[in-house]
Each structure stands twice: as C-alpha cells, then as structure tokens.
Amino acid sequence: MASGSTTYEWKPHHLRLAVDAAGVALWSWNVDTDLLTMDAHGFELWGMPWSEAVTFEELSSHIHPADRDRVRSAFAATRAVLGPYETDFRIVIDEEVRWIAARGQGEDAGIVGRTMYGIFLDVTGRKQAEEGSELLAGEMSHRVKNLLAIASGLTNITSRSTTTTEDMARELTGRLTALGRAHDLVRPLAAKQGAAALLGDLLSILLAPYDDLGAFKGRIRVAVERSGVGESAATGIALVVHELATNSMKYGALSEPTGTLDIASTSEADHIVLTWLERGGPPVVKPAEPAGFGSQLVRRSVIGGLGGAIDHDWSPEGLIVTLRLKRSRLAL
C-alpha cells in the first residue's frame, strides 16, 4: 500500500447498508427442497409477509400470468447455465405491476450445501423507460407515415383544384403551413408557459388543414365550452384529433368534397364530453380487423393521459365518436 494510504475493512453491517442502498433483495434456493429464503426487502418487493422460507409455487402466484411459464423454465434451467444468468419478469401486487430482475450463478458454480444464491432487483423504472422509448419510436414512425399520406393527398387535391403552377404552389404552401402549425401543437410547450390553449382554439387550429379540402370552407364546425387546456393535455388531444382527422380524410366524411364534421361538447360534473359527428361521407362499415397502432395510440392517450374514455358508433350515415375527458386532467 502506498505511503499515506489506508485500508478499509468491510464489516457485515456495512455490506448490509450497501445492499439496502442499492435496493437489492437477497435470496437463496435449495435445489433439493425447492425452498427459497429471502431477506426482508425481498418479501417487501414481492408484497408478501416475512417468513423463514417460501416455496417457488408461492412466489409464482405473484408472477404475471404471461411470464409465469417462462420464469419457471428459467429457474429450472439455472443449473445448466454456464456462469452468471439474469431473467426479467413481471409480478402483480394488488393492481400494481412491477418488473423484477433475478440474477444468480448457474452450473452449480459457487454452490454451498446444495443452495444457490442470487438477488432480486426492482427494475420497473428501467422497463417503463424502455416501453416509453418504444412507444415514442412507434408513434413517430406512425405519425411520419400519416403526415406523408396527408401531404400526398394535399398535393393531389391541390393539383386538381388549381390551373397554374403558381396557384398550386401558393395553395399547397398554405395548407402545408397550416398542417405544420397543427403538428407543432403535438409537442409540449416550454415550461412555465401556462395553459397551451383554449379547447375550442386548439381543436380549430388542429383541424384547419382539413377544412380547405372540400367544396366549401366551414364544413368543419367546432362548438365547445370555454375551457383551458394544459400543455400535457394538449399533446394527448392533438394526437387523438390528428388520428381521427387522418382516418376521416382517408375513409370518412372528409374524404368527400361535401362531407362535414361537427364537434360539440356537453358538460358533466367531472368530465367534458366531446362528440365527433361525421356526415356526408361514404357508407360507414365497422372495421373487421383488430385495432392498429393508431387506434391503440388514441385509446391509450384518452384513457391513460386524459383519464377518460372513447366510444365509436359506426352508424351507416357517418362515424360518431364520443370522448369523455376528465376536467382535472385537461388543466395539466
């Protein structure tokens, strides 16, 4: 040891402090009796009262049904795994879902008295971040495809409604600029800017690019109560409106020059109820295929982000969508 340096002697309680600080739960597994023992943090992590030992069957009752067979196979195969191993899985505590990483040593390495040792680690935060990144990547890919489809539709419609290249360039630029303004509202505003918009203004700006695509201006009508919308809620509403309007332009009332769209609201104690009413489009047929990414994104935005609900009425005269939005979420 160099002059002036000191050595540090680890004591058992020091190691315990370090383990607790890292949020690590310790476990041991007797490969003959199939009994597991865990420290107090392990039982807390699994939402179980402390006991001297627990069977794997008892632990399995808390594992998410979709992961249970995989985890059973992983634990059964640990002795055949060369060196360290790790498996991630979900557990369900009441209605809460947690992600757990189980780590240990395989191929009987380091086995003592027919007992294997390892740790459980709560990795819920990391898994949620990964899921968020995947959702964002899928959302961006889906949004870019929709924007390209809209831009293509705008170009075709503009080319049919103008007689000179100058007129086409002017009208197409105006429509793409309006679409850009709507797209900007999908992104959260800078911090401390307060409410993003009034609900009626937000809906009108988001739908403005689609209003010019028909035989007359004003075929999209918005009549909703005066209510402020926070930056987080504005993002969710913009995603929902963008998806509904895109589908309407592809398959619904906005695909016809004389088709109309009305958005109105009614008030409840804790909710604002928006009604999206399409008329004058092609006959409506309820989709037979399972919901695609766009529909899943809309439902997740409404239920998760806005604390509400969404309902579709596939009436032959035109689609009716009912959105129930929680007032307390709109202000966020």
What is residue 327's predicted lDDT score, i.e. its pLDDT?
84
12-122, CATH topology level = Beta-Lactamase (3.30.450)
What is residue 19's predicted lDDT score, i.e. its pLDDT?
66
Banded model confidence at residue 275, pLDDT cuts 50, 70, 90: very high
Q: How many CB atoms lie within 10 A of CB 128?
A: 12
Check if the beta carbon of residue 190 is closer than 8 Å to that of residue 286.
no
Q: How many CB atoms lie within 10 A of CB 271?
A: 20
* Mean pLDDT (whole number) for 250-261: 87
Distance CA 236, CA 135 (A): 14
Distance CA 304, CA 306 (A): 6
* Mean pLDDT (whole number) for 259-287: 88
Where is pLDDT greater, at 7 or 276?
276
pLDDT at 82 over 70: no
* Mean pLDDT (whole number) for 70-84: 68
Q: Please, what's the largest Cα pairwise distance for the chain? A: 89
Where is pLDDT greater, at 13 or 137?
137
* Mean pLDDT (whole number) for 215-233: 80
Query: What separation in angstroms does the CA of 286 have from each of 26, 28, 254, 314?
Result: 53, 55, 17, 6
- What is the spatial order of strands in the sheet that 271-279 belongs to? 220-223, 260-267, 271-279, 318-326, 309-315
pLDDT at 210 over 50: yes
Continuous segment of H or E residues that includes residue 42: helix 40-45
127-330, CATH topology level = Heat Shock Protein 90 (3.30.565)
DSSP string, 140-209: HHHHHHHHHHHHHHHHHHHHHH-SSHHHHHHHHHHHHHHHHHHHHTTSPPPTT----EEHHHHHHHHHHH
What is residue 292's predicted lDDT score, i.e. its pLDDT?
58
Continuous segment of H or E residues that includes residue 328: helix 327-330
pTM over 0.85: no
Q: Round to the nearest angstrom and report the end-to-end CA distance of the chain.
A: 58
Give every CB contact of residue 248 below 8 A, 6+ residues apart in sequence: 210, 254, 255, 259, 261, 278, 281, 319
In terms of average pLDDT, the best of 4-8, 260-264, 282-286 is 260-264
Where is pLDDT greater, at 199 or 139?
199
Banded model confidence at residue 268, pLDDT cuts 50, 70, 90: confident
Any idea where the domains of the chain sit in the sequence? 12-122, 127-330
Q: In terms of residues, how long is the chain?
A: 332
Q: Calculate what percentage of the chain has a pLDDT beyond 70.
A: 68
Q: Which amino acid is at 105?
A: Q
Check if the beta carbon of residue 260 is closer than 8 Å to that of residue 219.
yes
* Mean pLDDT (whole number) for 67-84: 71
